[in-house]
Amino acid sequence: MRCPWIVLPLVTAFLAVAATRAPASEARRSVIVRAIESQRDAVVNIHGQKMVGGTEEDGGDMRRVNGMGTGVVIDSRGYVVTNFHVVDGVRRIEVTLASGRTVAATLVSHDPRTDLAVIKVDIDTPLPVITIGTSSDLMIGETVLALGNAYGYEHTVTRGIISALHRCVEVSRTQRYDDLIQTDASINPGNSGGPLLNIDGQVIGINVAVRAGAQGIGFAIPIDDVLEVVTRLMSVERVDHTWHGIVAKPDGRPGVVVEAVHRESPAATVGVRAGDLITRIADVPVSRQLDIERALLGRKAGERVPVTVVRAGAEERIDLPLAAMRRDAVPLDERCWREIGLRLQPAAAGRVQKLQARYRGGLVVTEVRPNGPAAEQGIKEGDILVGLHVWETIAPENISYILDKSQEEHLNPIKFYVLRGRETLFGHIVSDTVLR
């Protein structure tokens, strides 16, 4: 015999249990869960085949291997940052998006020294873009999250802490990394090029290496260093062979402050000047130099682009024309070589500050022109150039600005400061003027 009077209490009890479970599900959405959910779609998995040299055991013959890695989307048109070693030698780069769709990609620009590369994914719809944080305020012991294509397991998430900062790691005779973040979040083969996130869901590093034979030791390139390199890799001069002439930096306000305008540049011709606050270029909000390059990337020489500028508290619009790179324009590295006789590469800020805490960074001398101005003053390969006249030299763009100023203000000779070991040396260098 059925007992219908029992059914109602059972249903009521079931609904009561279900009601108690619903809030618990939301409670489980911790800050870590939310951080991953907010950034997951801006992370891609990279794979392809490459030829590598064999070992002595197999006769040293070349063999085909499957490569894999990770990348982060930094522009909705499909521009992705990854490690160069992930795509080096890969004939056909394939990228799997968070949706599961696999598309082709091409190598846009790369820097083997820092092991960073930019690739372009072939898409017809905008991609989500990673949220960029800063590596300037990292704390040892703070929680971090690694997201990547670990051993081919796509979008693997691991958690750990920052174990140390400013690590220098030599992984081979040809590859050395300076100023890395060390973490115990599991970073495995395939994680290279993926993001290291803080619990706010901001990328604070790009995962790059593991310590062979050691568990719980992984490394990432600080995002501030990544952005400095990627700005050069995505510059319109390098990618499109156009130019604008604006050098800008953040100063805590929304937008970027123009630090310098190159002489005779398109920006100079329309009245952009040092001290201007640029808040937007076309439809792209601007918060760093990289945003300027992104906003102008893909545009043709002669195209005029609206730039929103704030001067004396008032907003103005300037139509900035892009120009083709002049055939007689001297590339920055060549200009530095010809005018002061140096080839320079950015030095990791952590490396410089370990030697002298008062410097924010510098440029490593990689070559000195015999009998050139720098050689005459005793500057040597391995020295770190930390200043010229009254300006610090942290990025290559600083050199261009200083050389322009030296011609405009007749600053010749120019006082220089170099770091040799822990000792700061100085002197006066007479620049060889180059017609531009």
**71 or 260, greater pLDDT:** 71
How many helices (H) and strands (E) are present in the chain, helices listed first?
11, 26
- Within-domain flag for 8: no
CATH number at residue 285: 2.30.42.10
Mean pLDDT of 393-413: 80
> Does 340 share its domain with 416?
yes
> Does 272 share its domain with 216?
no
- Within-domain flag for 68: yes
Distances (CA, A) of 391 to 127, 201, 418: 39, 35, 13
Is residue 432 scored above 70 in pLDDT? no
Question: Per-residue confidence at 189, pLDDT binned at 50, 70, 90?
Answer: confident
Mean pLDDT of 168-184: 83
Domain containing 372: what range? 332-429
Number of domain units in the chain: 4
User: Which among 6-15, 135-144, 340-349, 383-392 has the top mean pLDDT?
Assistant: 135-144
- Within-domain flag for 11: no
> Does 338 share its domain with 425?
yes
Is residue 435 scored above 50 in pLDDT? no
Is residue 264 scored above 90 in pLDDT? no
Instruction: Tell me the backbone φ, ψ of residue 64, rounded to 5 degrees.
Output: -90, 130
Is 128 exposed, middle or buried, given 0-12, 13-18 or 19+ CB atoms closer than 10 A?
middle
Tokens of 349: 């800020």
Is residue 330 scored above 60 in pLDDT? no
Tokens of 80: 């992705």
Please count the residues of the chain: 436
Q: Per the confidence metrics, is the pTM higher than 0.75?
A: no
3-class SS at 118?
strand
* Antiparallel, parallel or unpaired: β 384-388 and 314-321: unpaired
Tokens of 359: 């410097």
> Does 364 share its domain with 406?
yes
For residue 434, what pLDDT is reported?
36
> Does 65 share its domain with 154?
no
Q: For 352-385, write each residue's pLDDT tens digit.
A: 988 988 888 899 999 898 878 899 899 999 999 9
**173 or 411, greater pLDDT:** 411
- Within-domain flag for 424: yes
Q: For 15-64, write each residue's pLDDT tens digit.
A: 455 444 555 578 888 999 999 999 999 999 999 887 665 545 555 555 66
For residue 230, what pLDDT is reported?
94
Q: For 411-427, write each residue's pLDDT tens digit.
A: 778 889 999 999 999 99
For residues 276 and 314, what is the distance between their CA atoms, to the nearest angstrom?
Answer: 11
User: Which among 37-51, 277-291, 385-399 has the top mean pLDDT?
Assistant: 277-291
For residue 63, what pLDDT is reported?
61
Is residue 95 scored above 90 in pLDDT? yes
Tokens of 309: 């500028």
- Within-domain flag for 200: yes
For residue 312, what pLDDT is reported?
87
Contact predicate 407/413, CB 8 Å: no
Is 159 exposed, middle or buried, given 0-12, 13-18 or 19+ CB atoms closer than 10 A?
middle
3-class SS at 320?
strand
Q: Pick from 273, 297, 324: which residue ends a domain?
A: 324
CATH number at residue 176: 2.40.10.10
For residue 436, what pLDDT is reported?
31
Look up residue 124 and give its DSSP letter.
S
For residues 90 and 143, what is the distance between their CA atoms, to the nearest angstrom?
Answer: 34
- Within-domain flag for 19: no
- Within-domain flag for 21: no
> Does 318 share its domain with 337?
no
Is residue 300 scored above 50 in pLDDT? yes
Residues forming the active site: 85, 115, 192
Q: How much of the chain, in percent, has pLDDT values that exceed 90? A: 52
> Does 299 share its domain with 344?
no
Contact predicate 62/51, CB 8 Å: yes
Q: Pick from 307, 324, 341: which residue ends a domain?
A: 324
Question: Per-residue confidence at 204, pLDDT binned at 50, 70, 90?
Answer: very high
Mean pLDDT of 263-290: 93
Instruction: Tell me the backbone φ, ψ of residue 247, rounded to 5 degrees.
Output: -120, 120
Determine which of 300-304, 306-310, 428-432 has the lowest per-residue pLDDT on average.
428-432
Question: Per-residue confidence at 327, pLDDT binned at 50, 70, 90?
Answer: very low
- Within-domain flag for 195: yes
Q: Pick from 206, 228, 250: which residue ends a domain?
A: 228
Q: How many Cα atoms sit within 13 Å of 141 on the Cβ side? A: 0
Q: Is the dihedral of CA 274, 279, 284, 287 positive or negative?
A: positive
> Does 156 share its domain with 224?
yes
> Does 304 share its domain with 361?
no
Question: Per-residue confidence at 169, pLDDT binned at 50, 70, 90?
Answer: confident
